[in-house]
Amino acid sequence: MSIGSIVRSLFGPAEPAVARAYRGFFLDVEALASAVAREVSPRRVLEVGAGEGQFTEALARVFPEAELLGIDLTPRVGRLYRGRSDGVVFAPRPVEEVAAESPAGFDLVIVCDVLHHVPPAARAAFLLACGRCVAPGGTLVLKDWERRPTPVHAMAWFSDRYITQDRIAYLTADELREALRAAFGPAVAEARVGPWRNNLALFARRA
């Protein structure tokens, strides 16, 4: 268990509120969900790296009629989710497994703040697997924290490295664009999401 998980568990019933406040310092999940909703109107959504379900709640609100599948390698996936129960499912599965079982099965595949946790040597295969899940005409959204020489970036790096204890490696905006292009296709739209400009969302569509 990471240091962050241990500390959060000490908050007891207040843990969900603490977790939301912590995530909210770095990313406005409601603003990101709204930015996604302005670009797409999906019926089936796959969130890769759903974690404990905070962003999934925002997706469930902006897409009330869509079916949502949130996956993550952690067995704790969806643990703090408090949104609608109908049509929302969580599963501790790798995206490669979903791609093999449901190729082209989702109108929207979104990867939010996951890529910098993936080892560099595995990123191309990871994004290829995410792309295989996208249906014709569907959209792949890659949102990640852009590497920028700012104090808040140093805070984000410290948080990810020492609280989650992952060996993270952030990319620049151009590196993120190239990673998406090489695995799936060029971004056709971009969005910057508050509260920090480091939050970059790239949208690519399958023909």
Domain ranges of the chain: 26-205
Residue 23 corresponds to which tokens in the numbers above?
A: 């995530």
Rounded distance, CA 103 to CA 97, Å?
10
Task: Say which CATH superfamily domain 26-205 falls into.
Answer: Vaccinia Virus protein VP39 (3.40.50.150)
- Average pLDDT on 125-138 reads 98
Query: Using CA atoms, how far apart are residues 194 and 129, in angstroms rounded to an integer?
Result: 28
**pLDDT: is 190 or 23 the higher one?**
190
The per-residue pLDDT for 9 is 58
What distances in angstroms separate CA 192 from CA 19, 27, 41, 143, 196, one per listed residue?
22, 11, 20, 9, 8
Residue 60: predicted pLDDT: 98
Report the run of H or E that residue 23 belongs to, with start and end.
helix 15-26
Query: Which position has the token pair 């590497």?
Result: 147
d(CA 143, CA 181): 14
Phi, psi of 16 (to 5 degrees): -60, -40
pLDDT digits (tens, 9 = 90+) for 105-118: 999 999 999 999 99
pLDDT surpassing 70 at residue 80: yes
Say whether pLDDT at 8 is over 60. Answer: no
> Coil, strand, or helix at residue 203?
strand
